[in-house]
Amino acid sequence: MSLASVIQAEQKLLLPTYDRQRVLFTRGRGLYLWDSRGKRYLDFLSGIGVNALGHGHPAIRGALRRQADRLIHVSNLFYHEYQAELAKRLTKISGLEKAFFCNSGTEAWEGALKLARALARVESPNGHKAKWRLLALENSFHGRTFGSLATTGQEKYRHPFAPLVPGIGFVAFNDVQDLKRQFDGSVCGVCVETIQGEGGIQPLSQEFLQTARDLTAKTGALLIVDEIQCGLGRTGKYFAYQHYGIQPDIVTVAKPLAAGLPLGALLTTNRVATGMHPGMHGTTFGGGPLACAVAIEFLKVLDQLMPHIRKVGDYFHQQLDALKAKHSGVREVRGLGLMLGMDLNSADKAKAVVAQLLERGILINRTHETVLRFLPPFIIETKHVDQAIRALDSALSSSAKPDFTRSHKSTTRSHH
């Protein structure tokens, strides 16, 4: 099938939820993807942080083949061999004690919100002062289902679907005083991304996260940390909160967990787990044998890659800083490990740079209008960083020229 025929068929048959890039990918291997015309692309986006081991990693293909031959699905009415094994590995690296498996990030986050409400009910039963408010952050992103949207502090995602879940307040990002003002005994959980992803690669300050931890610890409210984008090695530690020396009550993960298969998890403590009992929460597909067997393999490979992520991530950060020093259109470089963002002074410029990199066969994306987002696979080497930096350097130079917008528009038009 050609790109044109796929576009035509999708326009007719699919709900128009995406404004896709006009590329039809047919194959991937390692750090590269190939489109239907045979053009090769260096992947610096990993399917939005999912393909952390690149494409077709031998350990993942091996686990997939082995498990697909044995058993794909049993439902959560029965046992299989892999949930406990995967939970053991995840609790060990997170410092938490219990896991629940599901299919996606938003579903993990929904589980976390429900658990916070359920625990508050168990711990203060029979008409104690209501403790069901959740505080979330402005500029956050937690997913597309109703609870996740209700805690997502960006109007553009929420507006069409109001009214959302009640009982949620928003705190200004990294504003310690605002957090203190809004926090009281009616709050059952404070919700944060350690590094906001969709919000433009914005790390929490140490002071803010510490204050959230201190306030919640005093009242027994939960610190609920969304590590769906920044967790599982992405920042050079297993979890981004480990850079802060803080231990949350609930952590959510998803994206890279099963190296491309849908799998999410929430991790929590024994105390918080008492909020749930059989029948209260569940999923048909979540934590199936295929996804869990693959996730175990992912974590084994991840263990070996951690020092590499730190090394290449630091190098990438330095190179981006050097571009910032050179190009006046770069406002800031942010992030940790291999979760990096470059904030430009214009949304049009950011759009143009993404388009120009795509032309040159390098995949990145733009988030929060002005931020170039880099989420490369953990297996990139410094030579791939150099390649991306050269392309960025030239895109930033040409996007600074006044005639670039015109030539960019004609390029995209010929693609559309």
Please tell me whether residue 373 binds ligand PLP under the rule CB under 6 A. no
> In a 10 Å sphere around its CB, with 0-12 CB exposed, 13-18 middle and 19+ buried, how is residue 34 labelled?
middle
Please tell me whether residue 104 binds ligand PLP under the rule CB under 6 A. yes
Angle between helices 289-326 and 58-70 in degrees, nearest 10: 160
Residue spans of alpha helices (H) in 189-338: 206-219, 270-273, 289-326
Residue 87 vs 113, nearer CB to ligand PLP:
113
Site for ligand PLP in 33-62 (CB under 6 A): 48
192, 254, 353, 371: which one binds ligand PLP (CB under 6 A): 254
Tell me how far apart the alpha carbons of residues 358 and 332 are, in angstroms, rounded to a whole number. 22
Q: Is 368 left (phi over 0), alpha (psi -120 to 50) or beta?
A: left
Stretch that binds ligand PLP, among 201-209, 223-231, 270-278, 389-397 (CB under 6 A): 223-231
42, 179, 212, 228: which one binds ligand PLP (CB under 6 A): 228
Nearest to 39 by CA among 390, 365, 411, 361: 361
Stretch that binds ligand PLP, among 105-113, 182-190, 210-218, 242-250 (CB under 6 A): 105-113
Distance from the Cα of residue 54 to its chain's centroid: 16
Query: At its nearest, how many Å lie between ligand PLP and the CB of residue 250?
Result: 13
Stretch that binds ligand PLP, among 101-109, 130-138, 241-249, 401-409 (CB under 6 A): 101-109
Query: At its nearest, how many Å lie between ligand PLP and the CB of residue 380?
Result: 20
Tell me how far apart the alpha carbons of residues 164 and 146 are, in angstroms, rounded to a whole number. 6
Stretch that binds ligand PLP, among 17-25, 192-200, 314-322, 388-396 (CB under 6 A): 192-200
**Residue facing ligand PLP at closest CB distance:** 105
Tell me how far apart the alpha carbons of residues 168 and 187 are, in angstroms, rounded to a whole number. 9
Element (H, E) at 29: strand 25-29
Residue 41 vs 109, nearer CB to ligand PLP:
109
Tell me how far apart the alpha carbons of residues 312 and 383 are, in angstroms, rounded to a whole number. 10
Tell me how far apart the alpha carbons of residues 397 and 416 are, in angstroms, rounded to a whole number. 25
The Cβ of residue 238 has, within 10 Å, a number of other Cβ atoms equal to: 22
Please tell me whether residue 229 binds ligand PLP under the rule CB under 6 A. yes
> In a 10 Å sphere around its CB, with 0-12 CB exposed, 13-18 middle and 19+ buried, how is residue 73 labelled?
exposed
142, 327, 351, 384: which one binds ligand PLP (CB under 6 A): 142
Query: At its nearest, how many Å lie between ligand PLP and the CB of residue 279?
Result: 24
The Cβ of residue 373 has, within 10 Å, a number of other Cβ atoms equal to: 25
Pattern 108-127, ligand PLP, x by CB under 6 A: -x------------------
Please tell me whether residue 141 binds ligand PLP under the rule CB under 6 A. yes
Stretch that binds ligand PLP, among 190-198, 210-218, 239-247, 378-386 (CB under 6 A): 190-198
Stretch that binds ligand PLP, among 27-35, 221-229, 364-372, 390-398 (CB under 6 A): 221-229
Query: At its nearest, how many Å lie between ligand PLP and the CB of residue 197?
Result: 4
Helix (H/G/I), strand (E/B), else coil: 198 = coil
Please work out the total of residues on this chain that contact ligand PLP, with binding judged by CB under 6 A: 15
Where on the chain is the footprint of ligand PLP (CB under 6 A)? 48, 104-106, 109, 141-143, 193, 197-198, 226, 228-229, 254
